[in-house]
Structure 1
Amino acid sequence: MHSSTSSASVRRLPAIGATVALAAGMLVTLTPAAAHAAAGAALPFASVEAESATTTGTKIGPDVTQGTLASEASGRQAVRLAAGQRVEFSAPRAANAVNVAYSVPDGQSGTLDVYVNGTKLSKSIAVTSKYSYVDTSWITGSKTHHFYDNARLLLGQNVGAGDKVAFEAKNTQVTVDVADFEQVDAAAGQPAGSVSVTAKGADPTGQGDSTQAFRDAIAAAQGGVVWIPPGDYKLTSSLNGVQNVTLRGAGSWHSTVHTSRFIDQSSSSGKVHIKDFAVIGEVTERVDANPDNFVNGSLGPDSSVSGMWLQHLKVGLWLTGNNDNLVVENNRILDTTADGLNLNGSAKNVRVRGNFLRNQGDDALAMWSLNSPDTNSSFENNTISQPNLANGIAIYGGTDISVKNNLISDTNALGSGIAISNQKFLDPFHPLSGTITVDGNTLVRAGAMNPNWNHPMGALRVDSYNSAIDATVNITDTTIKDSPYSAFEFVSGGGKGYPVKNVTVKGATVTNPGTVVVQAEAQGAAKFSDVTASSVGAAGVYNCPFPAGSGTFEVTDGGGNSGWSSSWPDCSTWPEPGKGSPEPDPGRNLAKGRPATATGSQDVYTPGKAVDGDATTYWESANNAFPQALTVDLGSSQAVRRLVLKLPPSSAWGARTQTLSVLGSADGSASSYSTVVGSQGYRFDPATGNTVTVALPGNTSVRYLKLNVTGNTGWPAAQIGEVEAYLTS
């Protein structure tokens, strides 16, 4: 089992993407038309899930439990083959190459024999656990993960759509997840005027060290092209000082560089263009202090990376320094032990688009505004599958950022499909500002149970982790399907209760969320328009402050919403996927943990203290400013028959009479409140526990309960230690 020797993670927590089988047996990630119009990348291959194929093995899953093979699989399902068992696919398209995502038991290796229409090929696929079973013990809540790996093979022949391609486990157990079928073009020829690395002494057999040959070719080709002919090349140390040059291969299936550190440089004058070859590393664990990345640092302004196959690295691109106007497009990034790509501050006008990422050990794509803000940059039309520790896409701070038309599925453990967050990890951090655009994204089976919070994260999360979200966050035209928990989550994940504000959600289709459509846990507000939901697991809205008493989140109905009007009634329990709302318990305090607001409060004596289940804490209004009101949102209309009002049961609290009335409303609008119990004096006396009971009429049905206090003989302010609401008289 691999484990890191690093003592601390540079950044992390919480934090997940998808080979995008929208249902068992569907093809995965084919063209821009798949799943969502223009969502995801236009890919050169077609993928088929193993669980939809014919097999003599055993199907596993579905499962979303952290640390299981099925939970990390595409579609949360796969096929386990014992030695001698096989799985047979119908080729979805003409192909001459295949890539297989698989897992073998820790410490084992073996082969998959390959059959085409029943005939065994002379070639086989080597499978190994060498790059799997990663431990990140310094990341709280992580378990051993990264169970899968990818292996590719040129078949040496063409197969047509409908032909049978089978894989048979030869000498070890193999769990097959998904197969990608591709028609690989012939190797490209050398561009005129380019400098070939072989002319500088590079060894295309992969036996000799080609590092110096690559350096010499780069030096000789300034302003021009370095050519990497078909072959395998070994580099034993990283390249640096790379600028004003194009590095080009014959195609990512033909030209392969074997190194765990390709470019490592803190700055560059830029105009570096890297395209059309593979870089395959030997990273078997995650050591955050090591630059085990395809690019570590900077390519400089006006650079590009395209048509690359990046695999078995810690991070594909860890980008610091000046990377302005960088374009990263049409690449495959597979099996990284940490991020796929991270814009680590100061990036301006960066476009990351059309890429395919599978099996990342942290965020698949991230922008992290450390030191200076990422600005006017975007992640667009990417397809992300199976990040097994963190988010599919994570935006940590930054100014005027766009996340558009991405297809993300099967996130795991510590993340969401998309996270828009002010989690800083380190200083100096630049929080979200300007306009954050989240548009046209499709999230499939996205969201996870966070073991650190002991509650789930939604498919799309807006998180005021370390500071309030004051940016304008526009979430539009979103498709969320089969989230194991909630669709949209609004939270202050650091537990400080910072507000989430200025959020609009417009135009969303939510299908089969395991628990709720909206998981609201922070103070603040979001406006929802044209959001339709179906097959909701438990309730439409879970609206409970985190931590309890930290403030109210206003779910504003902008019109056109349907299918999610109900509310989860009990903040003391989490909804369980697919189990629906519990039957009302007449003995349960309906107000405990519910959002509470007030017309005013004094110092730390905030409204949430009146619904936290602890009568020794209390809400106190502004002094000398009657009338004052405390309002509790019960989440849904309830036939409340009895209120119990408490002050701290201490002899230090002398007896007092508070004059108050009880009002109720169905929707909380200012004009909708009506009097439930008229104004009268209520005696709070330490001798009787500083507790009073208010009986409500039998026809009372309210969602919003308001206590309107007009006087207090013991203090010039309203004071409530606890308000409890019961269905029993």
Structure 2
Amino acid sequence: MHRTVRGMPAAMVVALSAGLLTATAPAAHAAAGASLPFTSVEAESATTTGTKIGPDYTQGTVASEASGRQAVRLNSGQRVEFTVPRASNAVNVSYNVPDGQSGSLNVYVNGTKLAKTLPVTSKYSYVDTGWIAGAKTHHFFDNARMLLGQSVQAGDKVAFESTGTQVTVDVADFEQVGGEAGQPAGSVSVTSKGADPSGNGDSTQAFRDAIAAAQGGVVWIPPGDYKLTSSLSGVQNVTLQGAGSWYSVVHTSRFIDQSSSSASVHLKDFAVLGEVTERVDSNPDNFVNGSLGPNSSVSGMWLQHLKVGLWLTGNNDNLVVENNRILDTTADGLNLNGNAHGVRVRNNFLRNQGDDSLAMWSLNGADSNSSFENNTISQPNLANGIAIYGGTDITVSDNLVSDTNALGSGIAISNQKFLDPFSPLSGTITVSGNTLVRTGAMNPNWNHPMGALRVDSYDSAVNATVNITDTTITDSPYGAFEFVSGGGHGYSTGNVNVSGATVKNTGTVVVQAETQGTAKFSNVQATGVGAAGIYNCPYPSGSGTFTINDGGGNSGWSSTWSDCSTWPQPGQGNTDPDPNRNLAKGRPATATGSQDVYTPGKAVDGDANTYWESTNNAFPQSLTVDLGSAQAVRKLTLKLPPSSAWGARTQTVTVLGSTDGSNYSTVVGSTGYRFDPATGNTATVSLPAGTNLRYLRLTVTANTGWPAAQFSEVEAYVTS
């Protein structure tokens, strides 16, 4: 069943509308990202008897949310085998299973099957967001961890095998987990107050009693599983400490919920696992909701299956959040929600957030002198990796962000206010030493792309000084640096300095300027630019100009996209980083009719297991794909699902093309194409030399296997 987002305030609706992480940073910033206790290995780089899916940037597909935009799909009995990169005794696996299903993976170490299996489930996945065009469902992946019960060495083999349920494996984190920590002297154990480490009894009151007894001291959470049925409040001047996040586990969706605290709350070295399966913003389904008080800290935590890890309001001055893992939240990983001063968020790992992974939002007062430093962020599936909404003298430094999706940039510096009173950006905003990999996305509400790093005068002009230094942007699907007024008002983004950037293989442009303003660029070096160096088309038309000042040392991006009436497509222009790519994947598709859920988009989603089926018993039927611009297409690959359940059939197809969407001509006349599961249920259509089309139309007049037109994939290539 899909998980529905309910009870969302209008402001938050607006907010949403707005692998081995192997990216190599420049030598001067080799430490971008967190120093992690594990090493991640991508499934697509492992040995497998399954099927590799992706790469895919089509929003709403499983592969598009995967690390590296690729993963491995396992059907029953298939396996993926990883070569262990380091001495390890534990593993965490990021995976997907079909909606409504659960199952398990057999685990093998050097070919020997372990007695225990790794449970997998769709329970926490498939979140519906019906107000977002083109992406009503997202949040496909989940994480599952296990202790192997033995130590394995670098070079050993660990394999995972499907036991019946289809499982798509994305990435495996291998880790050497240390032993259980001992009880600190003088601490108050929650078990001494009646807590049940078996997880059967309700330990809420025991935790409350231990906190009351340990004021100024330490509450000890021994190894075990503890169930809390309601949140804790009145927590102040106390440390809650566990034996380690793999050993001391608290099961609750609401751990601390309080509007204020006098000071000095320290939470460390345990796990909090929630049961949040949908996003309801009126519910405080967070690890911390509100305030820990000044001079507090959160460290060594494993936070999973919550709405938000930390939603922080009130006085949290000088808070330190470090060395934590925040996984599988339905909304933000952490949000400093106004009045945060001197906060340091550093060396954390975040994966699979349903909104911004890390955010500062200056509501009710300005966040100030606070920073996000050396964090590693992977796969936020609906918004930004890091977002700064207002605030004074903020720093975002040495972070590694990868694989944003839907409405997200890798880093967003924005005056989007959502609600009042809001404190816009002021002072100096420092964005330095960050590495962004495959970040930026096609925004389905704006219907145009978002850059890897975005400066956004959404609700007011950006008057702060924004210094963006020593940035590495790699494989952005669209633009690298975007300057926009997302509210459509044309407010200025001025006082921006970009220096020392390396841009590699950006899909469209290096600078995407869509509003008035000015920016100085120095030592920005680009290679593999997809369309042109600069897109400079402020919106609304006539609202002003965007001035690019050349500070010297720039190279590889001097050209300008000439037509403001069209958006450049990836690879359209100077250099195509992937001349063999499928031009139809993810493009808009329409049809004369469709049957039930088998809609036209299923034929261009990059997944051969999903398909379009036309209205039954009503030939002829047509499928039309808009490639975005006129292309010299030489070959089509037509597919049906690669399953023996799909018996062999012949479909009679005419290929038509158009450059304007109105006038179509026949490219290949009516021909019968054989689809046979013995040969992959695939047919190839060669197009004549000189074919040039933007709109590709396939008209089907007969199908020997079913009384309808059917395609699981329509692929178009410029290479023959």
Report deviation, 1:228. Answer: 0.2
Corresponding residue for residue 623 of structure 1:
none
Q: 1:270 aligns with which of 258, 263, 266?
A: 263
Q: How far apart are the structure 2 equivalents of 1:133 and 1:493?
A: 28
Give matches, 1:512-531, under 5 Å.
512-531=505-524
Aligned match of 1:453: 446
Indicate which of 238, 246, 252 corresponds to 1:253. Answer: 246
Pairing 1:299–2:300 present? no
Q: CA deviation at 1:459?
A: 0.3
Runs of 4+ in 1 over 3 A off after TM superposition: 7-10, 12-16, 32-36, 138-142
Aligned runs of 1:90-489 on 2, under 5 Å?
90-138=83-131, 142-489=135-482
Letter in 1 for 2:21: V
Helix, strand or coil at the partner of 2:401: strand
The offset of 1:6, in angstroms, is 1.4
Aligned to 2:492: 499
Partner of 1:3: 4
The one-letter code matched in structure 2 to 1:56 is T
- The SS at the match of 1:193 is coil
**Residues 132 and 445 in structure 2, CA contact (< 8 A), matched pair in contact too:** no
- CA deviations 1:472-499 (Å, max 9, x no partner) are 0000000000000000000001000000
Report what 2:688 is aligned to: none
Deviation at 1:231, TM superposition (A): 0.3
Aligned partners of 2:301 and 2:557: how far apart in 1? 43
Contact kept in structure 1, 2:132 and 2:444, CA below 8 Å: no
Where do 5+ consecutive residues of structure 1 fail to align? 24-31, 583-729
Q: In structure 2, what is the equivalent of residue 20 of structure 1?
A: 21
Structure-1 separation of matches of 2:27 and 2:78: 32
Please name the residue that 2:659 is paired with: none
What value does the CA root-mean-square deviation take over the aligned residues?
1.7
What is the distance in 2 between the residues matched to 1:581 and 1:575? 11
- Code of the aligned partner of 1:337: T
Shift of 1:42: 0.2
Q: Which residue of 1 aligns with 2:550?
A: 557
Q: 2:8·2:282 contact (CA, 8 Å) conserved in 1?
A: no
- Is contact 1:118–1:164 with CA below 8 Å preserved after alignment? yes
Partners of 1:159 and 1:573 lie apart in 2 by 54
Q: Do the aligned partners of 2:20 and 2:39 also contact (CA within 8 Å) in 1?
A: no
- Which one of 562, 572, 575 corresponds to residue 568 of structure 2? 575
Map of 1:88 onto structure 2: 81
| Corresponding residue of 2:713 | none
Measured at CA, do residues 439 and 536 of structure 1 come closer, stay the same or move farther in structure 2, by a change above 3 Å?
same
C-alpha distance after superposition, 1:336-395 (max 9, x if no partner) = 000000000000000000000000000000000000000100000000000000000000
Supply the AA of the counterpart residue of 1:207.
N
Helix, strand or coil at the partner of 1:507: strand
TM-score, with length taken from structure 2: 0.78
> Is the CA contact 1:527–1:556 (under 8 Å) kept in the aligned structure 2?
yes
Corresponding position: 1:59 with 2:60:
no
Shift of 1:549: 1.8
SS in 1 for 2:212: helix
Which AA in structure 1 matches 2:520?
Answer: K
Match of 2:61 in 1: 68
CA distance in 2, matches of 1:570, 1:207: 65
2:718 maps to what in 1? none
Q: 1:335 to 1:351 in 2, by over 3 A?
A: same
SS of match in other structure, 2:64? helix
202 and 48 in structure 1: CA distance in 2 versus 1, 3 angstrom threshold: same
Alpha carbons of structure 1 residues 9 and 259: separation in structure 2 relative to 1, 3 Å:
farther
Displacement after TM superposition at 1:11 (Å) = 2.0
Query: Where in structure 2 are there 5+ consecutive unaligned residues?
Result: 576-720
Offset at residue 551 of structure 1 (A): 1.2
Cα distance in 2 between the residues matched to 1:101 and 1:35: 31
Within the candidate set 31, 39, 51, 1:46 is matched to: 39
Alignment correspondent of 2:602: none
- Deviation of 1:14 (Å): 5.6
Q: Do the aligned partners of 2:529 and 2:574 also contact (CA within 8 Å) in 1?
A: no
2:28 and 2:208 mapped to 1: Cα distance?
A: 44
Instruction: Give the match's secondary structure for 1:219.
Output: helix
Q: Is the 8 A contact 1:14 1:415 kept in 2?
A: no
* Contact 1:569–1:581 (CA under 8 A) maintained in structure 2: no
Q: Read off the aligned partner of 1:416 and give its amino acid letter.
A: S
1:466 aligns to what SS in structure 2? coil
The aligned amino acid for 1:285 is E
Change (3 A) 1:355 1:375: same
Inter-partner Cα distance in structure 2 for 1:276 and 1:550: 53
Match of 2:503, SS state, is: strand
Q: CA deviation at 1:460?
A: 0.1
**Correspondence for 2:681:** none
Residue 33 of structure 1: CA displacement? 9.8
Matched residue type, 2:377: I
Q: Return the offset for 1:5.
A: 2.8
CA distance in 2, matches of 1:342, 1:257: 22
Question: C-alpha separation between the residues in 2 aligned to 1:581 and 1:136?
Answer: 37
Distance 1:153 1:10 in 2: 39
Cα shift at 1:312: 0.1
Contact 1:497 1:523 in 2 (8 A): yes
Amino acid paired to 2:129: T
Alpha-carbon separation, structure 1, partners of 2:490 and 2:250: 48
DSSP-derived class of the 1:51 partner: helix
Task: String of CA shifts for 1:49-76, please: whole Å, max 9, x gaps.
Answer: 0000000000000111110001100000
* CA 1:151–1:163: 2 relative to 1, 3 Å: same
Checking the alignment, whether the CA contact within 8 Å between 2:339 and 2:367 is kept in structure 1 is yes
Partner residue of 2:695?
Answer: none
The 3-state SS of whatever aligns with 1:233 is strand
Cα distance in 1 for residues equivalent to 2:29 and 2:42 = 19
Q: Tell me if structure 1 keeps the 8 A contact 2:15–2:418.
A: no
Q: Report how far residue 35 of structure 1 moved.
A: 11
Letter in 1 for 2:408: G
Name the residue aligned to 1:592: none
In the TM superposition, residue 136 of structure 1 has moved relative to its aligned partner by 2.3
Kindly, what percent of the aligned residue pairs are identical?
80
List per-residue Cα deviations over 1:414-470 (Å, max 9, x = no partner).
010000000000000100000000000000000000011110000000000000000
Q: Quick one: which amino acid aligns to residue 430 of structure 2?
A: T
Paired residues of 1:514 and 1:536 also in contact (CA < 8 A): yes
Q: CA, structure 1 residues 35+390, in 2 after alignment: closer, same or farther (shift >3 Å)?
A: farther
The 8 Å contact of residues 13 and 390 in structure 1, kept in 2 or not, is answered as: no
Q: Paired residue for 1:598?
A: none
Amino acid at match of 1:226: V
Instruction: Indicate how the Cα distance of structure 1 residues 162 and 36 shifts in structure 2: closer, same or farther if over 3 A, else same.
Output: farther
1:580 deviates by: 1.2
DSSP 3-state at the match of 2:114: strand
Q: How big is the shift at 1:8?
A: 3.3
Post-superposition Cα deviations, 1:505-537, rounded to whole Å, max 9, x if no partner, equal: 000000000000000011010000000000100
1:473 & 1:554 partners in 2: Cα distance? 15
Residue matched to 1:511: 504
